[in-house]
Structure 1
């Protein structure tokens, strides 16, 4: 049993790597290649929205500071044990730049429809192969997810 715990602990520490040795160009190219592959193999799949009820989400060009503050509270309680707001990987990937890599509908669908996205979305499955840990469903309400999206936007520099 001790060996199993040690193995799990070791995998948890090193599952996603340090994330410091890759340039930002190298981090973006696998996603682009995944999306091209998805589009060619499954023309009905839309990598801009993922799988879920959110289809075309419009966000304001300016930040809603009150909503972002609520999102930071949700992050502190439900997300910070596995994610950092930098590009550093913890258990899951860092959040820096996430709103540039994914459309708002995709982000909201992933947060509110986690299990379906993991099961059906090739981009999420590719991320799972890197991190080796399946994101648990946090049972976020739509309002919590929207506040987290606004916090992510703030984290990515939207003012």
Structure 2
């Protein structure tokens, strides 16, 4: 947490220095581009709260989970099949990581340490099911809904 705050402060300081530079009347395009890049990177460091669960989108995601073949390798709360049980996945992984894994599994297994670890554990590469970004969001919404339901059930048992 301290590292994130330090990074944000450093980026803000750099942006401030660049914007206060008085020896030029106009900044070159590369300076403006670099400043925008730093600001965007700083914005990405801020934790983003996920949007509220959209039940209609989650229903579409459930259907896609079945029709795109996810159900052949994954369960949600019923244990391992070929791939990992996805119960709690939206709590264990960042949503953008899940999206990248759904959209680009072949790239993830080559470059991402978590995907490499999953391959070593399950010994099967996740196939690319040609899911669109919109479909991936629906599947993720379904997974979030299932994780939310599981959390509510466990709270009621206590």
**What's 2:75 paired with?**
84
Consecutive unaligned residues of structure 2, counting only runs of 5 or more, are 1-43, 153-158
> Partners in 2 of 1:87 and 1:101 — Cα distance?
17
**What's 1:129 paired with?**
120
Structure showing greater Rg: 2
**What's 1:16 paired with?**
none
Match of 1:63 among 24, 32, 53: 53
More helix by share: 2
Aligned residues: 104
Match of 2:91 among 86, 93, 100: 100
Moved more, 149-158 or 66-75: 149-158
Structure 1 runs, 4 residues or longer, greater than 3 Å off = 55-58
Consecutive unaligned residues of structure 1, counting only runs of 5 or more, are 1-54
> Partners in 1 of 2:78 and 2:113 — Cα distance?
21
CA RMSD after TM alignment: 1.8
CA deviations 1:74-130 (Å, max 9, x no partner) are 001121011001161100001101001101111111111111101110111111111
Whether the 8 Å contact between 1:68 and 1:148 is mirrored in structure 2 is yes
Give TM-score, length-normalised by structure 1: 0.61
Whether the 8 Å contact between 1:68 and 1:151 is mirrored in structure 2 is yes
Whether the 8 Å contact between 1:112 and 1:140 is mirrored in structure 2 is yes
